[in-house]
Amino acid sequence: MKIRVAHLYPDYLNIYADRGNIAVFERRATLRGHELEITSLAPGERLEPSAFDLIYIGGGQDREQTLIAPDLAARGEAICKAVDGGTALLAVCGGYQLLGRGYRGRDGSTMPGAGLFPHETIAGDKRLIGDVLLEVDLDGLVTTVAGFENHAGRTLLDAGAAPLGRVVAGHGNDGTSGYEGCRVGTAIGTYLHGPLLPRNPVLADWLLGQALAHAGGSDELEPLPDELERLAHAVSAGRARSRGGR
């Protein structure tokens, strides 16, 4: 099947090789006989809610986030409609922050958000940096997710909001709540960089399955020989565990 992917702001948001997540989607789809059709969307280009099966947005520095924040906020209604309709979405770090209601800097300035995720982000005095390990439940599929975080923002989930996972080691959204990321239906937001998906094939396949289901196929994917991916996950998880808990 053809899986239609919207890659938002690839020229602005690609810190820590976050573009590698797209390469993982493409490779894992191709190995199963599917095709990824990737459309890069720059500021000002229209996002039709029903036009894509997967939306991806990476992370960036404050300068790049400031440049694209108004445009992303203006896309908020379209993005929310897409996710309501079953489109899969992955947002990393800066993209995750700006898909909430907004980001407030230490100087009082505010970057608008798209309003998909039920959270707000405020700037902290100290960066939260290091390897992270999460316990995650993806619709009954319980797994661990490992990655790397580097953010000054403190993301505060609304009461009742669903995090991506529980922090086993690392800081997470705000360094105190014990939660990391946010999930709304088929949409996942997270601070985990590195890129995230090469070391987390279970998460990659869950998102790919949601995208395939939206495209009219089955979300059941045949397994792949993921020896290297499992080793990468184990190494990353081990580094996180060596840090201990929060």
Q: List, by residue number, the catalytic residues.
A: 93, 193
Contact 42, 11 (CB under 8 A): yes
In DSSP notation, 33-79 reads T-EEEEEEE-TT----TTS-SEEEE----HHHHHHHHHHHHHTHHHH
Cα angle: 66, vertex 71, 76; to 5 degrees: 115
Say which residues have a Cβ less than 8 Å from residue 25's Cβ, sequence separation at least 6: 3, 5, 36, 54, 56, 197, 204, 207, 208
Beta-carbon neighbour count of residue 27 at 10 Å?
15
Distance CA(187)–CA(117), nearest Å, equals: 9
Residue 202 burial (CB count, 10 A): 18
E strands in the chain: 2-8, 35-41, 54-57, 88-92, 102-104, 110-112, 119-138, 141-157, 165-169, 179-180, 182-184, 187-190
Distance CA 234, CA 231 (A): 5
- CA 234 to chain centroid, in Å, comes to 20
